[in-house]
Structure 1
Amino acid sequence: MSDRLPTIGILGIMQPLYDDMLPGITDRQAGYARRIAESLADVADCVVADPVRGRADAERAVRGFENDDLDGVLVVMLTYGPSLRVTRVLHDARLPLCLANIQPDPVVTPEWDMADMTYNQGIHGAQDTANAMVRAGRAFDVVTEEWPSDAFRERIGRWARAARAVTAWKRLKVGVFGYAMNGMGDARVDEAAWMRSLGPEIEVIAPGALHRTMAELPESAVGALLAEEDERFAVDERLSKEEREDHARMQLAIEQLLTEHGCGAYSTHFDAIGEDGRFTRLPMAAASSLMASGYGFAGEGDALAASVVYAGHQLAGDGHFTEMYAMDFPTDSILMSHMGEGNWKVARDDEPVRLIKRPLDIGGLDDPPTLLFRIQPGPATLASLVALGGERFRLVVAEGEVLDSPVLPALEMPYGQFRPASGVRDCMDGWLRAGGTHHMVMNLGRTAADWKVFCDLAGVEFVQV
């Protein structure tokens, strides 16, 4: 889902005051806006509106961006433009905003005259506009850079990815099959407050619907999925045809139901599946492959964690659901794993991903086919969404690295050892003080700065530990 570039609208603001003084200034500055869009082609697909010279122009442009389902709006001052002409439309805009404090010419030279001053006077328009948004309580990002530079492209790319993630999050539906795990408090959330504040919605899906959908699937679809697995994974010869077909039916049925319900993320709880009485095994490998195809996922009915895995897909690519199992003080690291679900796209590239026959007593069902891999060594980031009560939410983030640690031969589920940049002791002290949950998303790479922009745009408190 994060393979596509973010789509952003460029809202260039000026005013008609300068037309008589500098004939052709509107066309000249419109060309400047187009050059900005061309410079960003590697980080975003840009739609450039006609220069905004009044309130009607601004409303028409922003509504066009929204109707075209863009991810965000980049506001650029083409000259000075009085803020009251855009105050209302920026306050009401449904899309995330970024104010680019830039100008056509990055250097003031002795050759400058009044025309050059006028072409490059966006800075005080940016001040006027930013002041209006601050007074209105409107969240927005700001980038002050030389616009043709790599630094500008990097910062706008980060904002654009965050805008894509926030916009998708506001529309997200999280399917919960059955119910959430009893007694697991850090996954509990006031659904109405969550939806009002951030946008995601919980859609409860009955296990019976999953059972019926499994039974109705055509054999051809099951066979096609098994052929894909044979091509992609090292398949355990001990897995029977019956075991593999049953697992494949679960995966295909879950995906079909998510599509029918419009869900981009989901969660299953082993008791909800096990106690139903109609299922043979838990959908372990299904969760791994559905994450790899872009769905958010979390175990135990945890909709909060499923939503942040989905956001991780949108923000940085290949969100991986995991949790902290144990601390390893000699290596200053934490063993990361879960019961058997993990995004195989974060697997080491020097080892095959294995589809194994794996005994699992949890749920009281038969052995679930499970994808086993170790996480790729290198930089990585953890993020946990915390419900603080009411409409207050916090994201706890830790950067670090996945170690090239020894194989744990008895561990039959995805795993890796994460060394926090701040060290295990300081990281965990900070994580616990901030209320970080036990379910989280991992992304490969250092993405704390991306999560910070995401939080600024979404209205979520950001804590890095």
Structure 2
Amino acid sequence: MSLPTPPPSQNPAVRSSRPRIGLLGIMQPLYDAMIPGITEHQAAYAQRLAEGLSEVAEWTVAPPVRGREDAESAIRDFEGADLDGVLVVMLTYGPSIRVTRALTGTRLPVALANTQPDPAVSASWNMDDMTYNQGIHGAQDTANALVRAGVDFDVITGDWQSQEFAARVDRWARAAHTVSALRRLRVGVFGYPMNGMGDARVDETAFLRKLGPEVHVIAPGTLHRTMADLPEQAVSDLLAWEDGAFDVDERLSKEEREDHARMQLGIEHLLEESGCGAYSTHFDAIGEDGRFARLPMAAASTLMAQGYGFAGEGDVLAASIVYAGHRLAGDGHFTEMYAMDFPSDSILMSHMGEGNWRVAREDEQARLIKRPLGIGGLADPPTILFRYRPGPATLASLVSLGGERFRLVVAEGEVLDSPELPALEMPYGQFRPSSGVRGCMDAWLRAGGTHHMVMNSGHIAQDWKVLCELAGIEYAPV
């Protein structure tokens, strides 16, 4: 059974795209007289390198950098094209002073590719071959300049034609793409955050300065007016799509489904209108408003499946890291730890009713159910119920430590093929940490990991590590 395809979003902030990377090849005029045509020869090597990595990213290859003006012009062009990062490749030895200003002043994430045209030293080499392949000491010179300048950058050493090299560039490119997306992100908050929830609180200006997300408050009344103004055809189209995508509970009335659909479409319209790629709602902000019949549970699930970041209770940190999970590895899923199960050495994961059904089991159809929910004091919210797909998974929690200091707590493990819990009417699964429940939770709590987090399928701790290095935040594997 295949998972349904979510309705397409018109919001550029959530449309999936490939990393767009600039390749900055560095050399110098010193060798022109010794090897006529060396610039063209090494420019062709840079093009071959980009073509060999065409499955990893979309590449913009700058002309070979032979001086400071070339470097600064190329970086301006990369930034003007709104690329996601810069991969620096030594075409020959290039003195760092000529590129230091450009690379230390750019807002784009940087990686230094320590590679060379030929993978092996050969007995047939002459001085020309030595010159073509001498990038290693240019990499050392440039890396030294970046370290002294306090620039966060990645290093990728290897044979540029190998699968391992491509995999490492792919990891860095996705991390750079995610860091760049976070720097452009707006997080919509409907109403206000949950009172008393300390681990979700953050200095919004420090968050903006360090990682980039901007918090955009949306009044619940705006959502109510937007719901009322939606065309009937849009509501009918969404209901028809749900009929084909889910096993729809017959107890759900037409009124309940139409009201839920209007909430989902209204939220999406406001997020698109305000340029928000992530959002958060709090049940009290909706319930106490007095104009809404129910909470938007199913809406959160399908909007996550479309690529929006989401978190409950006004948690902009968690909404941002769910958004980052979408960009970094695909299908970020908002969840929290509900209870420990010591016999299976696992943790029951769930939330009130929101969850990205793109991480659902493929052998069970997700259900759109009528379910009672006392929280919020409103009528029954239609909820998408599913169990998590068994297999490797990774949890990540974004922690605010005060000021511009942030930490990402990351746990790899496995979603178990655990028994069904028939009375649990919200998305759920059991996660067994690779370090075991006791070891993982001891370390999680000591690191200050929050109770809201993103889950992604697969073991992607190393992906998160590269992102932390590029963003300049702490990485805490548990």
Query: 2:67: which partner in 1?
Result: 54
Once residues 350 and 253 of structure 1 are traced to their aligned partners in structure 2, the CA distance between those partners, rounded to angstroms, is 32
1:90 aligns with 2:114: no
Query: Residue 73 of structure 1 aligns to a residue in which SS?
Result: strand
C-alpha contact (below 8 Å) 1:328/1:334 kept by paired residues: yes
Residue 299 of structure 1 aligns to which amino acid in structure 2?
G
Once residues 226 and 75 of structure 1 are traced to their aligned partners in structure 2, the CA distance between those partners, rounded to angstroms, is 50
1:73 aligns with 2:102: no
Query: Equivalent residues in 2 for 1:187-206 (5 A)?
Result: 187-206=200-219
Once residues 330 and 3 of structure 1 are traced to their aligned partners in structure 2, the CA distance between those partners, rounded to angstroms, is 40
Please give the per-residue CA displacement for 1:351-381, whole angstroms capped at 9, x wherever unaligned.
0010000110100000000000000000000
Question: TM (normalized to structure 2)?
Answer: 0.97
Query: 1:183: which partner in 2?
Result: 196
Query: Residue 401 of structure 2 aligns to a residue in which SS?
Result: strand
Query: 1:115: which partner in 2?
Result: 128
Residue 64 of structure 2 aligns to which amino acid in structure 1?
P
1:275 aligns with 2:288: yes
C-alpha contact (below 8 Å) 1:327/1:334 kept by paired residues: yes
Shift of residue 382, structure 1, vs aligned partner: 0.1
Query: Residue 389 of structure 1 aligns to a residue in which SS?
Result: coil
Unaligned runs of 5+ in 1: none
Shift of residue 4, structure 1, vs aligned partner: 2.6
Residue 404 of structure 1 aligns to which amino acid in structure 2?
D
Once residues 207 and 358 of structure 2 are traced to their aligned partners in structure 1, the CA distance between those partners, rounded to angstroms, is 29
Shift of residue 261, structure 1, vs aligned partner: 1.1
Query: 1:425: which partner in 2?
Result: 438
Query: Equivalent residues in 2 for 1:394-409 (5 A)?
Result: 394-409=407-422
Query: 2:256: which partner in 1?
Result: 243
Give the length in aligned residue pairs.
465
Query: 1:434: which partner in 2?
Result: 447
Query: 1:42: which partner in 2?
Result: 55
Residue 432 of structure 1 aligns to which amino acid in structure 2?
L
2:299 to 268, 286, 290: 286
Residue 212 of structure 1 aligns to which amino acid in structure 2?
R
Please give the per-residue CA displacement for 1:129-187, whole angstroms capped at 9, x wherever unaligned.
00001000000000001110000000000000000000000111100000000000000
Query: 2:474: which partner in 1?
Result: 461
Residue 298 of structure 1 aligns to which amino acid in structure 2?
A
Please give the per-residue CA displacement for 1:310-343, whole angstroms capped at 9, x wherever unaligned.
0000000000000000000000000000000000
C-alpha contact (below 8 Å) 1:83/1:125 kept by paired residues: yes
Residue 72 of structure 1 aligns to which amino acid in structure 2?
G
Query: 1:314: which partner in 2?
Result: 327
Once residues 26 and 228 of structure 1 are traced to their aligned partners in structure 2, the CA distance between those partners, rounded to angstroms, is 57
Please give the per-residue CA displacement for 1:180-231, whole angstroms capped at 9, x wherever unaligned.
0000000000111111111111111000000000000000111111111111
Once residues 7 and 104 of structure 1 are traced to their aligned partners in structure 2, the CA distance between those partners, rounded to angstroms, is 23
C-alpha contact (below 8 Å) 2:264/2:300 kept by paired residues: yes
C-alpha contact (below 8 Å) 1:8/1:160 kept by paired residues: yes
Query: Residue 385 of structure 1 aligns to a residue in which SS?
Result: strand
C-alpha contact (below 8 Å) 2:16/2:307 kept by paired residues: no
1:371 to 362, 384, 391: 384
1:228 aligns with 2:258: no
Query: 1:212: which partner in 2?
Result: 225
Please give the per-residue CA displacement for 1:60-99, whole angstroms capped at 9, x wherever unaligned.
1111111111111100000000101110110111110000
CA RMSD of aligned residues (A): 0.7
Shift of residue 3, structure 1, vs aligned partner: 4.2
C-alpha contact (below 8 Å) 1:2/1:314 kept by paired residues: no
Query: Residue 374 of structure 1 aligns to a residue in which SS?
Result: coil
Query: Equivalent residues in 2 for 1:375-394 (5 A)?
Result: 375-394=388-407
1:362 aligns with 2:391: no
Once residues 68 and 298 of structure 1 are traced to their aligned partners in structure 2, the CA distance between those partners, rounded to angstroms, is 32
* Sequence identity (%): 76
Question: TM (normalized to structure 1)?
Answer: 0.99
Residue 173 of structure 2 aligns to which amino acid in structure 1?
A
